[in-house]
Amino acid sequence: MTTDLNTHTHGAIGHISLNRPKALHALTQGMCEAMAEALLGWRGDDAVTAVLLDHAEGRGFCAGGDVQLVRTSALEDGGAAGRAFFHAEYRLNHLMFTYPKPIVAFMDGVTMGGGVGISQPCPYRVATENTLFAMPEGSIGLFPDVGASWYLPRLPGATGRFLALTAARLDGAECLWAGLATHYIRSEDLAEVKACLAVGDPVEETLERFSSPAPEARIAGNVERIDRLFGHDTLEGIIAALEADDSEWAAKELKAVRAKCPMTGKVALRQFTENASCEDFAANMAMEYRVASRMMLRPDFAEGVRALLIDKTGDPQWNPATPEEVMPEMVDAVFAPMPQGEEWTPFPA
């Protein structure tokens, strides 16, 4: 059992706390496997009626996944360790999505990438004034994964495309507005909320009782612009729409889109199309695993992690460098079926 995770029970409540504070609780393969082990154990335990998911200390909730491990794997072992990480992470995501008991995720802090993957499957998602939500994979040449292909297309209007292509950061009020959070509760009240749940108070009634009015969601004021400018099906179409708009807001978002990996942008938009034909969340995760297995091996990923997280120069040199240079067959290749015996599979029901 990893020390980066605390699991215990309080009466009828299972409790999982991420405990990797120096890395903002970013997920390792060991953490994913330990979370899955706990959830599988409680799944058939009639004494456990609900699960709480939070972070143990420091700034949280969860800043993502162990991308530096994945980068090292891509460079040194052909991606074997990276694929093992994604397989374990996506199994956890699917287990949570299909879990028969309610899970309450406390998104009290940074909730990005892998943190999105373990909060969005939960039927109860609590945002606070500390919540900072984003899908920043375009900045490192990866792609919006951990179920983003399922969640983002279901957000209001073109909000999902906007988040995928700009890596925009949403606060707790904006998460509530978009449906990414189900409740807004002040961080100072969370300890009491958890204490009430631990003694068996009903989950939904307790969360409603402690909910506070959220501040005005800033993103709501940009809905018309987001839907109009990000509603196009192609990356080139979205960039052209942003270029044609003379507002300061459009100029800022155009800069954000252009800074991201062009291949990531095209893959992200293709995910919206592919998800429409996924019959369930397992099919979606199998699709994302195919993409992850290929995108992690592309030079863009190693370059993006270098520029953002290792050298911290912020100057990734993408290849291809422009959307026009990303050919359809390049995108087709990352979505192609895996070789026989290498497809992703969920835990048995």
Give me the mean pLDDT over the 74-93 stretch. 97
Query: The dihedral of CA 112, 151, 292, 3: what is its sign?
Result: positive
Strands 132-134 and 170-171: antiparallel
pLDDT category of residue 349 using cuts at 50, 70 and 90: confident
Q: How far apart are CA 178 and CA 190, in angstroms?
A: 22
Per-domain residue ranges of the chain: 5-335
What is the band of 2 on the pLDDT scale with cuts at 50, 70, 90? confident
Phi–psi pair at 53, nearest 5 degrees: -125, 120
Q: Taking a C-beta distance cutoff of 8 angstroms, is the pair 101, 49 a contact?
A: yes
Residues 6+ apart with CB under 8 A from 168: 134, 162, 219, 253, 256
Structure pTM?
0.97
The string of pLDDT tens digits covering residues 177-215 is 999 999 999 999 999 999 999 999 999 999 999 999 999
Helices 262-275 and 281-295 meet at what angle, rounded to 10?
160
Q: What is the pLDDT of residues 235-279, one digit of tens each?
A: 999 999 999 999 999 999 999 999 999 999 999 999 999 999 999
| 245 to 218, 225, 251, 258: CA distances (angstroms) | 20, 9, 8, 15
The string of pLDDT tens digits covering residues 302-333 is: 999 999 999 999 999 999 999 999 999 999 99
Question: What is the layout of strands, in order, in the sheet containing 110-112?
Answer: 61-62, 110-112, 132-134, 170-171
pLDDT of 294 strictly over 80: yes
User: How many C-beta atoms surround the C-beta of residue 316 within 10 A?
Assistant: 20
Instruction: Spell out a b/e string for 153-172, using b for 16 or more CB atoms within 10 Å of the CB, else e.
Output: bebeebbbbbbbbbbbbbbb
Residues marked active site are found at 65, 114, 137, 145
Q: Which CATH architecture has domain 5-335?
A: Alpha-Beta Complex (3.90)
Q: What is the pLDDT of residue 57?
A: 83
pLDDT at 1: 55
Q: Per residue in 24-60, pLDDT tens?
A: 999 999 999 999 999 999 999 999 999 999 999 888 8
For all residues of the chain together, what is the average pLDDT? 97
Q: Which residues contact 211 (CB under 8 A, 6 or more apart)?
A: 183, 184, 185
